[in-house]
Amino acid sequence: MSSSRRPMIAGNWKMNTTPADGRELAAAIASGSAAYGGVDVVICPPFTGIASAADAVSGTNVQVGAQNMSAEESGAYTGEVSASMLRGLVSYVIAGHSERRGLYCETDAAVAAKATAAHSAGFVPIVCVGENLETRKRGDAVSTVRSQLRASLSGYTGWDSLVVAYEPVWAIGTGEAASPQQAQEIIGELREELVALAGEKAAAGIRILYGGSVNSRNIGPFVDRPDIDGALVGGASLQADEFVRIVEMTARLLENPA
């Protein structure tokens, strides 16, 4: 974790929580993380719970993000949610999560369009990339994620308003996190790719998160790495105490670097 980049812990609630559940969870996270102002805390509820969660954290240090967003502004796109529908409710938008790519066949081009649309609407996109187990075993992890990032940011120009998340597909929801060394290797490569895309100065300011079975027991060695600026947390973000503990561990490491 670089001292020049503010750390971020973002929680992706996925398809969990009712609006009432989400309000309670958001309020508990805001209360518990209030003491850790040096860390950006973001929660990403399902669409139906965004408004209630946003209301619950209003005036706190917790920000709200959307798990997805259409690249289209309006029209005959049944089931989609546009930027104008999210304006005033969220600050961040996740684009290209592996579950969107895998389950709903989202391409790099679609992710790039969403990232650009999110930035144009005033949101900060969190662009996700990551390799599957077959790719890693084949020895192609580095080339795959660099290519994926390049294509997922095609045409993107908002370099001062971007977060990247590296989520190895084989570590998401499996309980098997990548090692801190593996994560740093790939994230270091992603930063080099950002240098090629945006220039050294801009790339140095872009936060890159690790995601994949993150919890309070393993977060420390990840955020202790020079290029890892926090985490995109899945299941552990549904437990307020556990999620706050992740924020706390990150804040403590920031105050007392190794």
Q: How many CB atoms lie within 10 A of CB 257?
A: 9
pLDDT at 187 > cutoff 90: yes
What average pLDDT does the segment 40-62 reach? 98
As a whole number, mean pLDDT of residues 10-15 equals 98
Q: What is the pLDDT of residue 55?
A: 98
Kindly state the average pLDDT of the residues 195-223: 96
Residue 124 above 90 pLDDT? yes
Active-site hit among 97, 99, 106, 189 = 97
Instruction: Give me the chain's average pLDDT, please.
Output: 95
Residue 256: is its pLDDT beyond 90?
A: no
Token pair in block for residue 85: 């529908």
| DSSP string for 193-219 | HHHHHH-HHHHHH-EEEE-SS--TTTH
Predicted local distance difference test score (pLDDT) of residue 257 = 64
Identify whether the C-beta of residue 123 lies closer than 8 Å to the C-beta of residue 92.
yes
Instruction: Give the tens place of pLDDT for each residue, 87-123.
Output: 999 999 999 999 999 999 999 999 999 999 999 999 9
The alpha-helical segments, DSSP class H, found in the chain are 19-33, 50-57, 83-86, 98-104, 108-120, 133-137, 141-152, 180-198, 200-205, 219-223, 240-255
Domain boundaries, the chain: 8-255
Mean pLDDT of 78-93: 98
**What pLDDT does 10 receive?**
98
Residue 119 among the catalytic residues = no
Active site includes 97? yes
Catalytic choice (131, 167, 193, 248): 167
pLDDT in the model for residue 219: 96
Query: Whole-angstrom Cα distance, residue 51 to residue 4?
Result: 32
| Residue 258: pLDDT over 70 | no
Q: Kindly indicate the confidence band of residue 255, based on its pLDDT and cuts at 50, 70 and 90.
A: confident
* CA distances to 12, 35, 85, 133, 233 from 228, in Å: 18, 22, 32, 21, 14
Tokens of 224: 């202790």
What is the per-residue pLDDT across 165-183, written as a single tens digit (0 to 9) for each?
A: 999 998 877 777 789 999 9
DSSP 46: -
CATH node for 8-255: 3.20.20.70
- The single-letter code of the amino acid at 226 is P
